[in-house]
């Protein structure tokens, strides 16, 4: 089966071709980082307009590179939520048009399921497993008993970990998106200088909170002399990274113990963070749990994960009609 994947949930326009015989044939992406950098974050209306400009040329380019026509495909998979409504509607409308014109089956994919299954693009999944989904908009723990069988174990009570990274970076004057810059600079930071709080560390629930950490970072940065010295910035980055990684790891392995699974996974943009990947690998080895990090190219929003998730649903007999709607927020639910 050849599945066209379309992903426009936020600020990256992405299309991909998944071939069930060969895996990911190609994954194309048009980034909007330069567009939103001047605002320090994603501007929804600008993101939607950029998707309108970029999406169809990307689809045409993808099909031409593989000498395919729309009717040569076996289905279309598209992210229909959660995300920015305007951005989602661009992708969903395009997917519906292609599916209708070429008489192809259409399936809507929950964005979080795409991130979970991104781990299967380069390595076989070991299920059941607990997934830590961590990005700019999400921080949650998902128990996957099988593909299509999901249970949400816990989530953030306020801000996402990715947002905490980005807001901390902004306080330090680092470019958007800030998470990768903190990850890089933390390597040369002093781990003892700034001991930032670990929110809800003693709370028995599988929940997260990062609003207090952001406040603590602001207070630390405001107390530093201006202009900020390079070492000061690196030391704060190390404090931020260590605090967030500690909390994420604590909850992930708490969830793994409570559910009795044999594997843990990372999913979402922050899964590309080197400090987090190293910490989870170390703890997984200590607890004798399977862990294979997703390839970094599949951590951030991409259409390859949507095409693969769509293939899983289509091969199981799922189909959506042309009345498929988009949604800004909704938890991942089982479909199998």
Domain ranges of the chain: 2-117+298-315, 125-293
Cβ distance 265 to 132 under 8 Å? yes
For residue 128, whether the previous peptide bond is cis, meaning omega lies within 30 degrees of 0, is yes
Question: Domain 2-117+298-315's class?
Answer: alpha beta
For the entire predicted model, the pTM comes to 0.94
CATH number of 125-293: 3.30.420.40
- Over the stretch 162-210, which tens digit does the pLDDT of each residue have? 999 999 999 999 998 899 999 999 999 999 999 999 999 899 999 999 9
Cβ distance 16 to 28 under 8 Å? yes
HEC per residue, 116-164:
HHHHHCCCCCCCCEEEEEECCCCEEEEEEEECCEEEEEEEECCCCHHHH
Q: Can you give the pLDDT at residue 278?
A: 98
In angstroms, how far is CA 187 from the centroid of its own chain? Answer: 23
- Over the stretch 30-57, which tens digit does the pLDDT of each residue have? 988 778 877 877 888 999 999 999 999 9
Q: Mark the ranges of the chain whose per-residue pLDDT is less than 70.
A: none
Cβ distance 217 to 240 under 8 Å? yes
Q: Please, what's the largest Cα pairwise distance for the chain?
A: 64
């Amino acid at each position: 089966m050849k599945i066209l994947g379309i992903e426009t949930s936020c600020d990256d326009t992405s299309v991909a071709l998944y071939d069930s015989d060969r895996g990911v044939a190609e994954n194309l992406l048009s980034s909007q980082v330069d567009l939103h950098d001047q605002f320090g974050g994603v501007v929804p209306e600008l993101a939607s307009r950029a998707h309108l400009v970029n999406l169809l040329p990307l689809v045409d380019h993808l099909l031409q590179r593989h000498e395919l026509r729309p009717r040569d495909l076996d289905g279309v998979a598209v992210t229909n939520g959660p995300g920015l409504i305007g951005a989602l509607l661009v992708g969903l409308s395009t997917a519906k048009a292609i599916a209708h014109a070429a008489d192809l089956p259409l399936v809507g994919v929950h964005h979080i399921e795409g991130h979970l299954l991104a781990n299967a693009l380069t390595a076989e999944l070991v299920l059941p497993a607990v997934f830590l989904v961590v990005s700019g908009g999400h921080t949650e723990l998902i128990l996957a008993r099988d593909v299509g069988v999901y249970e949400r174990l816990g989530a953030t009570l306020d801000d996402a970990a990715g947002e905490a990274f980005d807001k901390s970076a902004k306080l330090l004057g680092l470019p958007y998106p800030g998470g990768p810059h903190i990850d890089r600079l933390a390597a040369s930071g002093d781990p003892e200088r700034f001991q930032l709080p670990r929110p809800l560390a003693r709370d028995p629930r599988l929940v997260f909170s990062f609003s207090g950490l952001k406040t603590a970072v602001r207070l630390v940065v405001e107390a530093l002399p201006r202009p900020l010295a390079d070492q000061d910035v690196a030391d704060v980055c190390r404090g931020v990274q260590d605090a967030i990684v500690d909390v994420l790891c604590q909850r992930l392995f708490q969830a793994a113990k409570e559910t009795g699974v044999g594997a843990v996974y990372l999913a979402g943009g922050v899964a590309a963070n080197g400090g987090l990947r190293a910490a989870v690998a170390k703890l997984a080895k200590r607890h004798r749990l399977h862990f294979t990090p997703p390839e970094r190219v599949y951590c951030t929003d991409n259409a390859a994960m949507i095409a693969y998730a769509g293939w899983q649903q289509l091969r199981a007999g799922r189909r959506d009609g042309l009345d498929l709607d988009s949604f800004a927020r909704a938890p991942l639910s089982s479909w199998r």
